[in-house]
Structure 1
Amino acid sequence: MKPQRKAGPRTRALGAVAVCGALALTACGANGGSAPSPRPSAPPPSPSAATGAIACGKAATLRASGSTAQQYAMKYWITTYTRACAGTKIAYDGNGSGAGQDDFLHGRTAFAGSDSPLDADQVKQSEKVCADGGRAIHLPIVGGPIAVAFHLPGVDRLVLDAPTLAKIFNGRITRWDDPAIAGLNKDAKLPATPIRTFHRSDSSGTTDNFTAYLAATARDAWPYPHAKEWPAQGGGSAKGSADLAAQVQRTTGGIGYVELPYAVDRMLRTVSVATGAATPADANVIAASHAIAGARTVNTGHDVILDLDYGTKVPGAYPIDVVTYEIVCDKGNKPETWPATKAFLAYMASQKGQQNLTFQGYATLPAKVVDAVRREIGTLS
């Protein structure tokens, strides 16, 4: 199974504000299907404050690509870092985890963002682009919930469990008034509207994590292994999370999986997931943080990889989550950009880099994981 996860009191407080305030997709602890509020952008620190906290590397132009899951966070990081570090320019292309891995492994980028770790063959391949006998390593930087967004007029709250989700996305449940859905939503007036599923058309870490959840928790209904490419037949497709969310928004009866900020931006309602706990778990940053806190850390060499527990039954823990890794050479791959790359990574993992992420729709990683990442960045040569 693919690995993938408490921050200090200030970070947790920010998460509570984000979920229970303007960010909340659901009423806190109440109606999981209430209308979401637009995602606010936390204001970047002032230039003077940022300069005092950020250690700038040698000025350079960095190119990176990959995960759409971290795109909102990356925009915030780039704005703040480059404001403090004059002369450094950073471009991030959210082209999907698979494309980001490919860019990195062919030497086109300084680092990649990926919601899935490289496999053993890819790590071996990285030795060709990494300098001085180095190789690629994985540094988890940000996490968050994968929201199952839906568009079903008249239905404000929708509860689904793993087997029902698997049958929906596998084409075995095709109408919204199906008895399996009705049994989980006894108070809802479900229409006979056809279900229109949407999945990612590109190689995607979000798909990898969503299918890993289905494979781990609904084996009888989901006969596929986890994969970055969508494995099932049928359904509509879209490249990138933004386009997938747009497809769901414009389609009556539509349902699809996207990272939380994309659902919030489109004002989409999201599924509450029945996990076996007393109450279904809502897709919000606090619920995702609860789940990610239970992940097992797998440290191999300089890697820090998290193994998510998709079958968690911890009360209030939302089980469908993603952790994004920055994939980077442990000894650099481009001498002209390596100092700036290390400095930017150090900023992302710093307290200042992590403290406002809940306002962008992201879950907090455990303190021990963030501390391990900071130590590893400090050892990069």
Structure 2
Amino acid sequence: MKVERFGRAAALLSVASFALVACGEANNPGDNGGDGGGDTETSDVQGTLSGGGASSQEAAMTAWTNGFTSVAPEAQVNYASVGSGAGREGFLGGEYDWAGSDAAMDDEEWESSQEICGPDGAFHIPSYISPIAVAYNVEGVDETINLDPDTLASIFAGEITSWDDEAIAEQNEGVDLPDTTITVVHRADDSGTTENFTEYLEAAADTWEHEAHETWPAELSAESAQQTSGVVDLTSQTDGAITYADASQIGDLNSVAVGVGEEYVEYSPEAASTAVETAEQVEGQAPNNMSVELDRETQEEGVYPIVMVAYNIFCSEYSDAETAELAQAFGEYVVSEDGQSTAEEAAGNAPMSEELREEALSALSEISAAE
């Protein structure tokens, strides 16, 4: 049974606000407190939708769930910030109705999703685009430090151990670098952020000898902490520490400008968005799947290559119409102009392009309920 509650994506969007139309019929729009007509419509979807996953999306997810409640007052969306790996595991185990993940499902996970999501399995919507900052805390150094991929990899591999190392100094003329010991801080839990960061190191650096994975290489000795907030807190408390984290959550920490071609590029929403626009879409899995493969070795001017594309992973088919309707409605709000703007204000992510939004809404329109 195809869910028919929501019309085509373009009909759901307006410049002023997000208009969510239920059952193809608009409810009486509000007027922001006056008696005249406004253009904000609400949805009559109801029930509770439960999700879990990436902690990097936590700020954006709070903005999305609050924003969705404002247009769908009879609906409630809960999100557990448990990490990407645990989120996907909970989704596949039936604990969550959808998952937030900083990394796409592999083929084995997607095949498992067919057991709960119908023959087309689950599909990915790239809802949250964010640069991964290489953040550091070095007392007395307030300048942005430049680091090329090989130097970054050598630091995180424990081969460069002091901030005044020659490899760092020669890229940062005029910066008074102390002889402070470098303390590498990594995620202790399964993390899509770790997978994205190590994927970058594997692709861009000749000095990195480890495969990309959502867990940090066990053979590398370093400090660790749980989730994004944990690594940021530990780095903030440790002179000489360096870590990797969603750029929107690094707080007052400084961050590295990464070597790309002949220049050094600082992270920004614009530089991250450019990286995604040049990415290739991964083929296979569900027909409406939207996972992408980023070019980590790019030499393009102005591109920040350490980018995380966080997905919301939904079922193509849900067991009941209420859950299918809620999942589709929430997904459509997240990728709407209002939803992306709300998340940008709360979390600093890079809003998706209009072309990507249209594709996402088309993919979400394929959600159905079992007969």
Scaled by the length of structure 2, the TM-score of the pair is 0.85
CA distance in structure 2 between the partners assigned to 1:221 and 1:59 by the alignment: 53
Contact 1:139 1:326 in 2 (8 A): yes
User: Which of the residues 346, 354, 357 maps onto 1:367?
Assistant: 354
> Counterpart amino acid of 1:292?
V
User: Which of the residues 116, 120, 123 maps onto 1:129?
Assistant: 116
> Partner of 2:214 in structure 1?
228
Q: Does 1:119 find its partner at 2:103?
A: no
Which structure would you say has the larger RCO, counting Cα contacts within 8 Å and 6 or more residues apart?
1
> Counterpart amino acid of 1:294?
T
Report the Cα offset of residue 252 of structure 1: 0.1
User: Which of the residues 280, 291, 297 maps onto 2:281?
Assistant: 297
Contact 2:185 2:234 in 1 (8 A): yes
Counterparts of 1:293-372 in structure 2, within 5 Å, are 293-300=277-284, 301-359=287-345, 360-372=347-359
Contact 1:177 1:191 in 2 (8 A): yes
CA deviation digits over 1:321-371, x for unaligned, max 9? 000111111012454422111111111111221234333210133332221
Q: Does 1:253 find its partner at 2:235?
A: no
> Partner of 1:77 in structure 2?
64
CA distance in structure 2 between the partners assigned to 1:154 and 1:129 by the alignment: 54
Report the Cα offset of residue 305 of structure 1: 1.5
CA 318–47 in structure 1, closer or farther in 2 if over 3 Å, else same = farther
> Partner of 2:133 in structure 1?
147
User: Which of the residues 103, 120, 123 maps onto 2:90?
Assistant: 103
Q: Does 1:178 find its partner at 2:165?
A: yes
Contact 2:64 2:342 in 1 (8 A): no
Contact 2:103 2:195 in 1 (8 A): yes
Unaligned runs of 5+ in 2: 1-29
CA 70–96 in structure 1, closer or farther in 2 if over 3 Å, else same = same
CA 334–97 in structure 1, closer or farther in 2 if over 3 Å, else same = farther
CA distance in structure 1 between the partners assigned to 2:245 and 2:222 by the alignment: 15
CA 103–275 in structure 1, closer or farther in 2 if over 3 Å, else same = same
Deviating beyond 3 angstroms after TM superposition, the runs of 4 or more aligned structure 1 residues are 45-49, 51-55, 333-336
Report the Cα offset of residue 116 of structure 1: 1.0
Report the Cα offset of residue 134 of structure 1: 4.2
Question: Larger Cα Rg: Structure 1 or Structure 2?
Answer: 2
Contact 1:47 1:84 in 2 (8 A): no
CA distance in structure 2 between the partners assigned to 1:333 and 1:356 by the alignment: 31
CA distance in structure 2 between the partners assigned to 1:134 and 1:48 by the alignment: 44
Contact 2:60 2:344 in 1 (8 A): no
SS in 2 for 1:355: helix
CA 295–53 in structure 1, closer or farther in 2 if over 3 Å, else same = farther
CA deviation digits over 1:146-174, x for unaligned, max 9? 00110001212211111111111111011
SS in 2 for 1:344: helix
Counterparts of 1:272-283 in structure 2, within 5 Å, are 272-277=257-262, 279-283=263-267
Report the Cα offset of residue 69 of structure 1: 2.1
> Counterpart amino acid of 2:211?
P
> Partner of 2:255 in structure 1?
270
Contact 2:261 2:299 in 1 (8 A): yes
Report the Cα offset of residue 242 of structure 1: 0.8
Report the Cα offset of residue 124 of structure 1: 1.1
> Counterpart amino acid of 1:145?
P
CA 334–243 in structure 1, closer or farther in 2 if over 3 Å, else same = farther
Contact 1:198 1:236 in 2 (8 A): yes
> Partner of 2:25 in structure 1?
none
Unaligned runs of 5+ in 1: 1-44
SS in 1 for 2:309: strand
Q: Which moved more, 1:331-340 or 1:266-275?
A: 331-340
> Partner of 1:286 in structure 2?
270
Contact 1:55 1:347 in 2 (8 A): no
Contact 2:44 2:74 in 1 (8 A): no
Aligned length: 331
CA 144–365 in structure 1, closer or farther in 2 if over 3 Å, else same = same
Contact 1:54 1:81 in 2 (8 A): no
> Counterpart amino acid of 1:83?
S
What is the RMSD of the two structures over their aligned residues, measured on CA atoms? 2.0
User: Which of the residues 240, 255, 268 maps onto 2:227?
Assistant: 240
Scaled by the length of structure 1, the TM-score of the pair is 0.83
CA 375–276 in structure 1, closer or farther in 2 if over 3 Å, else same = same
The alignment-based identity, stated in percent, is 34
